A and B are shown apart, each in its own frame.
Chain A
Amino acid sequence: MKNEIRARRDAEGISQADLAAAVGVTRQTINAIERERYDPSIELAFKLADHFDCRIEDLFDPELNGVGEGG
């Protein structure tokens, strides 16, 4: 799923390891999310949104990913 994790992390100037430690997952998981190879659970999405002090949909844009495009 397309997301803005890397952009926001770069803006904060923190590493993947720092973000991983902050939200309680491995660095590899953050890397996989940034590379759009793993979609986080709702719980982890909330933790990431809480860390970046934004809404989940600011990190994971539903329209950007084609989700919620009604027929």
Chain B
Amino acid sequence: MTQTRTSDRSPLAKQRKYRRLMFSILLGGVAIALLLREVLGYPLVSEAVYWVAVVGFFAVLYGSSVTLFDERDKALEERASRWTLTLLAPILAITASVGRLLPRVSDYALPEAVWPVLYGFIGVYVLFAVVYGVLRVRS
């Protein structure tokens, strides 16, 4: 039996540090960008800060020397994606049906802002179908 003792915990400490750094850059950047745009009135500077945060997030994600997310994280992401799509489907179907029926059976109607959101959801499912098809053909 291999009696390997890996007392050097620096990879795990680095992992934690870079993960915190990654999300701090993104959330901090978005918060500062919001402050600049909504409170201080600097929309262009705000946009620049926003993109710096986005680029910084991916720079840490792909540029760090340690693996920030392992296979379990990816498995959890896949499960979360599947659950999200599964939960959204009935919401989309029911809301669309209610939206079509309401004006015909009552004086009420869904707010106009709801329809672009529903079309956005439909777009997500169309994109999913395309990606699924491509992956299926290639596998």
Contact = CB atoms under 8 A, between A and B. Distances in A.
Chain A contact surface mostly: helix
A19 to B, nearest CB: 8
Given A28-B72, A51-B2, 15 more contacts: A12-B1, A12-B4, A12-B5, A13-B5, A14-B5, A21-B12, A24-B70, A26-B12, A26-B70, A26-B73, A29-B70, A29-B71, A40-B71, A41-B71, A53-B2
Given A18-B5, A21-B11, A51-B2, A38 B67 contact: no
Contact of A24 (B2, B3, B4, B67): B67
Interface of B: 1-9, 11-12, 15, 67, 70-73, 75
A18 B3 CA distance: 12
Contacts, number: 55
13 contacts: A12-B4, A12-B5, A18-B6, A18-B9, A21-B12, A22-B4, A22-B6, A24-B67, A26-B15, A28-B72, A43-B71, A52-B2, A53-B2
Contacts of A22: 4, 6
A13 B3 CA distance: 9
Q: Give 7 nearest A-B pairs by CB, closest first.
A: A25-B70, A53-B2, A29-B72, A22-B6, A18-B6, A21-B6, A53-B1
B8 to A, nearest CB: 7
B20 to A, nearest CB: 14
A51 B12 contact: no
B67 A18 contact: no
